Structure 1
Amino acid sequence: MSAAGLLTVRGLVAGYGAAPVLHAVDLRVPRGAIVAVVGANGAGKTTLLRSLSGMLPLTAGRITLDGEDLRGVPVEQLVRRGLAHVPEGRGVVAELTVDENLRLGGLWRRDRADAARALDEVYQLFEPLARRRRQLGHQLSGGERQMLALGRALVGRPRVLLLDEPSLGLAPRVVAQIMALLRQLRDGTGLTVLLVEQNVRSALSVADQGVVMALGRVVATAPAARLRDDEDLRHAYLGF
């Protein structure tokens, strides 16, 4: 894992209307790492991902991907440059089949042969999806929908995956599978992941680094294992 910051945030201020939610947020996501952003409800975690993916305009600050300034870049161009966002709630198109949902993730790609290879790789990675490729999105279980949302993002071969609350509403067994998959992707493909997660234990168990947010600010950044072992910090900000 390289120490170089693939995704870097400096002085980010963003919010809804005139009220800022994020206050001068600094963040660095090293290449090939899983960085978990944790904190209580209302800490600004989802707002952070929406700002990074272009869904929410910045009031101030700078976002760079591999040194390239992303401020003002349209959402569709961010995807082409390697930034994939899997939002909370998964966002599966219920009326489309599994296969159609996955193909949406690669529609913009010019290398059709590699897009087809990426689709095959997703089916190998998610065997339940391969078995249900002709079924509609609304016919899937919660865990399968999460796999589908992840798979659709991976078909685009992102450099950075922004993943918002992947454990939401899922059984503990399925959550463990999703977290193990993230580790597998990091180790096997070098995928860089910025993970926002309410399930703090699960997030820190898979992450290389942890970032703790409170009231729209970063209050701690450290190796994930150190955050797990810091009793005072856990009690103050993480609730366990």
Structure 2
Amino acid sequence: MSTVTIEALTAGYGDGAPVLDELSLDVPDGAVVAVLGANGAGKTTLLRALTGLVPARSGRVLLDGTDLTGLPTEDRVRRGLALVPEGRGVVVELTVDENLRLGGLWRHRGAGLRSAVAEMYALFPALHRRRDAAGHTLSGGERQMLALARALVSHPDVLLLDEPSLGLAPLVVAQLLGVLRDTAARTGLTVLLAEQNVTGALSVADRGVVLSLGAVVADRPARELAADPALRHAYLGF
């Protein structure tokens, strides 16, 4: 659906040393790309910089050739980016249904919004069963389902996910990654998936990108990356 191009992106927090150091990466239209690396490698900062939550110090972020670098976060969302942050971010005071309708308001109204929410209930039957439940009553797995559904309900062109499997049971992780894989294959959604669960991420990805100290040290087909023991031991810890 959309191509993301990152050109020599340098970004960080406050006046400290940059976390991303002239990072360049191409994410092709419709690809699922796993962003891997140890804690502190720059995975979260990369996703936050793409959405404008962390400002770029230099370099550019382009979506289908259009420079997004100077745009505020809300404009990037309207142009088709959606972020599922680490920590299963949902509005806990709102119900499941209210969270979904809120997520869809960026790009839908009226019948279009109702249809988009219905799609999410078809994807996640557990959410439909709990549609009137407040966010704070959901289990960890249900909250992550809701966070993913709230991003997908806007029909984004590019989905950015930050550690969606963190703290979840393996069965729930398999379910979430399966929905992600099937949705990307069905819709052509472009996905950047930042994960510590290397095996799970590479099982659904087309490509794997390994970060170290804010720079890309490997960018290869997922199967090749999973089969390279030297690279895994050096940068991924297994």
Shorter-normalised TM range: over 0.9
SS in 2 for 1:64: strand
The amino acid across from 1:132 in the alignment is R
Q: Partners in 1 of 2:193 and 2:61 — Cα distance?
A: 17
TM-superposed deviation, 1:110: 5.0
What is the SS of the residue equivalent to 1:20?
Answer: coil
**What is residue 39 of structure 1 aligned with on the other side?**
37
| Contact 2:108–2:154 (Cα < 8 Å) also in 1 | no
Note if 1:176 corresponds to 2:195.
no
Counterpart Cα distance in 1 of 2:125 and 2:169? 18
Structure 1 segment 1-240 matched on structure 2, within 5 A:
6-18=3-15, 19-240=17-238
- Distance of 1:112 and 1:85 partners within structure 2: 23
Task: Give the secondary structure class of the aligned counterpart of 1:99.
Answer: helix
* Structure 2: gaps (5+ residues): none
Q: What are the superposed Cα offsets for residues 60-88 of structure 1, whole Å, 9 maximum, x if unpaired?
A: 00100111100111111111100000100
Which deviates the most, 82-91 or 102-111? 102-111
Aligned-pair identity (%) = 66
Give the whole-Å Cα distance in 2 for the aligned partners of 1:238 and 1:102. 35
1:17-60 superposed Cα distances (whole Å, 9 cap, x missing partner): 22201001011111111000000011010000000011010000
Decide which moves more: 40-49 or 101-110.
101-110
> Normalized against structure 2, the TM-score is what?
0.97
Output the CA distance in 2 between the equivalents of 1:112 and 1:150. Answer: 22
Q: Provide the rounded CA distance (Å) in 1 between the counterparts of 2:177 and 2:167.
A: 14
Deviation, structure 1 residue 109: 2.8
Cα contact 2:77–2:106 (8 A) shared by 1: no
Structure 1 residue 108, shift from structure 2 partner? 2.8
- Whole-angstrom distance in 2 between the partners of 1:54 and 1:22: 14
TM-score (norm 1): 0.96
CA drift of 1:107 comes to 1.8
Whole-Å Cα distance in 1 between the matches of residues 19 and 212 of structure 2?
10
Give, in whole Å, the separation in 2 of the partners of 1:218 and 1:68.
Answer: 23
> Partner amino acid for 1:217?
A
Deviates more, 1:169-178 or 1:102-111: 102-111
Q: Distance between the aligned counterparts of 1:110 and 1:215, measured in 2?
A: 39
Distance in 2 (CA, whole Å) between partners of 1:45 and 1:233 is 17
The number of aligned residues is 237
Deviation beyond 6 Å, 4+ runs, structure 1:
none
Pair 1:110–1:180, CA change in 2 (3 A) = closer
Alpha-carbon offset, residue 111 of structure 1: 4.2
5+ residue gaps, structure 1, are none
